[in-house]
Structure 1
Amino acid sequence: MDTGTKPLSYELLAEVGQGAYARVYKAREVGDTRRLLAVKKFIIRANASASEAGIPAFMIREVALLRKMENFNHPNIVKLLDAHVVPVDTGLDLTVVLEYIDQDLSTFLSKAPASGLSHDCIKNMMLQLLRGLDFLHTNMVLHRDLKPENVLVSSCGQVKIADFGLARIHTFNIALTPGVVTLWYRAPEVLLNTVYMSAVDIWSAGCIFAEFFLLRPLFQGYTDAQQLQKIFEVIGLPSEEDWPKDSLISYSVKWGPEGSCTKLLPNLGAEEKDLLNQCLAFRPSGRISAAKALAHPFFTKN
């Protein structure tokens, strides 16, 4: 997993985040550039079982996907600068060095004025998010955990998709797991434990699009069933014909009202409402693609 070059030299400045599997530090490169870095140190505990020894598969996938995308240097994907593994006691130390971005989208939205974000700001940020998604989907990558905490925003307003811990390369034979995407940004097909593809990322992007206007998450359920009910309260209950046949969850008129309810987003213009509706279509096949969304009148009309 070594990048084949000498590891970057840096000094850690502060811990800025900690999860179940990794700690993230703000660091500064040692040398002439003195650029800021994000250093992600994965926590790999030594296992007694030989079958579980080594680096967990999801960590390898994350680094491999970042390496795959590194060559393209896309402006809306966080850039991998270094990755290396060293033995530590009886375990391993996997370190990933990324470009440093000031804040995530969740923090950015929390600082927004009470009057809301400007139309131009929303258009610019959504455009960048979709460009990043279009790049991923063109390269057969499903992010599978798109949410404001995994979208970075630089001080100059550049948007970058980050955190590929749940991402996968899509193939037709892939065994996709249901426990993906943070609940509030989870597509109906995932909640219904049925087949899903890249449209799950478009659903999540649609939820973020609504959040740009609301300054809070659009659907805030606390169980899968409650999340579905929150969704149907907004987009309306789909017909029984549109309900996925491979879902173990039965269709019922009790899931929600028929017909969409637009009370939550009353101030949207025609173009933005149309784009949001196409991102939040119940059927994945009816959901707009990232490429088509980029050509939507919301972006092309002045």
Structure 2
Amino acid sequence: MDISTTPLRYELLAEVGEGSYGKVYKAREVGEKHRLLAVKKFNIRGDASETGIPVFMIREVALLRKMKYFNHPNIVQLLDASAVSVGRSLDLTLVLEYIDQDLSTYLSKVPASGLSQDCIKDVMLQLLRGLDFLHTNMVLHRDLKPENILISSHGEVKIADFGLSRIYTYNIALTPGVVTLWYRAPEVLLNSVYMSSVDMWSAGCIFAELFLLRPLFQAYTEVQQLQKIFEVIGLPSEEDWPKDSPVSYAVNWEPKASSTKLLPNLGPDENDLLAVSRSVSWTYYCSLNCTG
């Protein structure tokens, strides 16, 4: 499964993250370059010959390999991948370019005065360029959030973590439980049809977070998340409600109070851009579901 002519040799320096399936390490390449690397090690327990590699891991490797040859500056680059049998288990290792921190860590260090508008523009421009590249190649990321966006000490922004990503084709059966709750688009919350607009919604939430220094919509259930969204964008009409959603339209969805002034420090241009990014999802699925 190696993707390079000669597998990369490296030494692990420190563990920097841990998930359900494995760990992420900071490493250094052995040889002339001595460049820093990010190494993701997945351990697939049980009889790998029977269970195989989990689908989300195969997708991540396949998509990263596909995008590697384009070498887009705003997509994290896969440098090597290998799978090795260890007894009845299977160790899958991905070696990626190393970036200092994710956007969540970056924002946690921002002073209370906030980011400059020039900095916000630069981050968003790079994020949207990466997203445009993915969507042009029919790739839905489906889990855009600050933890999956890397930003270097030099201000380079790269989209990472493609475990939930899919190649989009027409009439594909898409999983409803995608995207971390706070960045999840209304059509996903309503278990309706969706496509690349779900990534645009997430990007809009991240855009707002760059100003607020906190997530725009913070809830702990899907119902609460919808209510918080409707407080900002208003309750759509019954005619605009997606016809294929198992969640029924009801007047009690109407928010008791409006929170449309969550971003009072935004100028008219920034507010217009935010409004476009958060409405594009709703506009898309209304076009599919509305009779008028």
Shared topology, TM-score over 0.5?
yes
Which deviates more from structure 2 when the two are superposed, residues 115-124 or residues 84-93?
A: 84-93
Q: Distance in 2 between matches of 1:202 and 1:186?
A: 10
Which whole-Å deviations, capped at 9, do the CAs of 1:224-271 have from their partners, x for residues lacking one? 000000100111111111110000111112113399642211121111
Please tell me whether the aligned partners of residues 15 and 25 of structure 1 are also in contact (alpha carbons under 8 angstroms): yes
Unaligned 5+ runs, structure 2: 287-292
Q: Tell me the amino acid that sits aligned with residue 284 of structure 2.
A: S
Q: Distance in 1 between matches of 2:255 and 2:265?
A: 22
Q: Indicate which of 170, 173, 188 corresponds to 2:171.
A: 173
Where 2:169 maps in the other structure, the secondary structure is coil
Match of 1:200 in 2: 198
Cα distance, 1:259–1:241 mapped onto 2, change above 3 Å: farther
Q: How does 1:6-17 map to 2 (within 5 A)?
A: 6-17=6-17
Q: Distance in 1 between matches of 2:97 and 2:283?
A: 33
- Deviation of residue 3 (structure 1)? 1.0
Match of 2:96 in 1: 98
Q: Distance in 1 between matches of 2:48 and 2:215?
A: 42
Match of 1:110 in 2: 108
Where 1:83 maps in the other structure, the secondary structure is strand
Query: How large is the Cα RMSD of the aligned pairs?
Result: 1.6
TM-score by length of 1: 0.91
Match of 2:284 in 1: 285
Q: How does 1:30-69 map to 2 (within 5 A)?
A: 30-47=30-47, 50=50, 53-69=51-67
- Deviation of residue 162 (structure 1)? 0.1
Match of 2:26 in 1: 26
Q: Distance in 2 between matches of 1:259 and 1:246?
A: 28
What is the aligned length? 285
Match of 1:222 in 2: 220
Which whole-Å deviations, capped at 9, do the CAs of 1:39-91 have from their partners, x for residues lacking one? 000121124893xx221111011000000000000000000000011111111
Q: Tell me the amino acid that sits aligned with residue 274 of structure 2.
A: L
Which whole-Å deviations, capped at 9, do the CAs of 1:157-204 have from their partners, x for residues lacking one? 000000000000001121101110000000000000010100000000
Q: Distance in 2 between matches of 1:256 and 1:192?
A: 16
Where 1:280 maps in the other structure, the secondary structure is helix
Match of 1:184 in 2: 182
Q: Distance in 2 between matches of 1:37 and 1:48?
A: 27
Cα distance, 1:286–1:180 mapped onto 2, change above 3 Å: closer
Where 2:231 maps in the other structure, the secondary structure is helix
Pair 1:154 & 2:159 matched: no
- Deviation of residue 121 (structure 1)? 0.2
- Deviation of residue 92 (structure 1)? 1.2
Unaligned 5+ runs, structure 1: 288-302
Match of 1:145 in 2: 143
Q: Distance in 1 between matches of 2:211 and 2:3?
A: 41
Q: Distance in 2 between matches of 1:160 and 1:259?
A: 37
- Deviation of residue 286 (structure 1)? 7.8
**Runs of 4+ that moved beyond 3 A:** 257-261
Cα distance, 1:218–1:18 mapped onto 2, change above 3 Å: same
Please tell me whether the aligned partners of residues 187 and 285 of structure 2 are also in contact (alpha carbons under 8 angstroms): no
- Deviation of residue 22 (structure 1)? 2.0
Where 1:55 maps in the other structure, the secondary structure is coil
Identity over aligned pairs, percent:
76
Q: Tell me the amino acid that sits aligned with residue 84 of structure 2.
A: V
Please tell me whether the aligned partners of residues 193 and 285 of structure 2 are also in contact (alpha carbons under 8 angstroms): no
Which deviates more from structure 2 when the two are superposed, residues 158-167 or residues 263-272?
A: 263-272
Q: Distance in 2 between matches of 1:5 and 1:263?
A: 55
- Deviation of residue 284 (structure 1)? 4.3
Q: Distance in 1 between matches of 2:199 and 2:213?
A: 20
TM-score by length of 2: 0.94
Cα distance, 1:138–1:48 mapped onto 2, change above 3 Å: closer
Match of 2:77 in 1: 79
Please tell me whether the aligned partners of residues 83 and 95 of structure 1 are also in contact (alpha carbons under 8 angstroms): yes
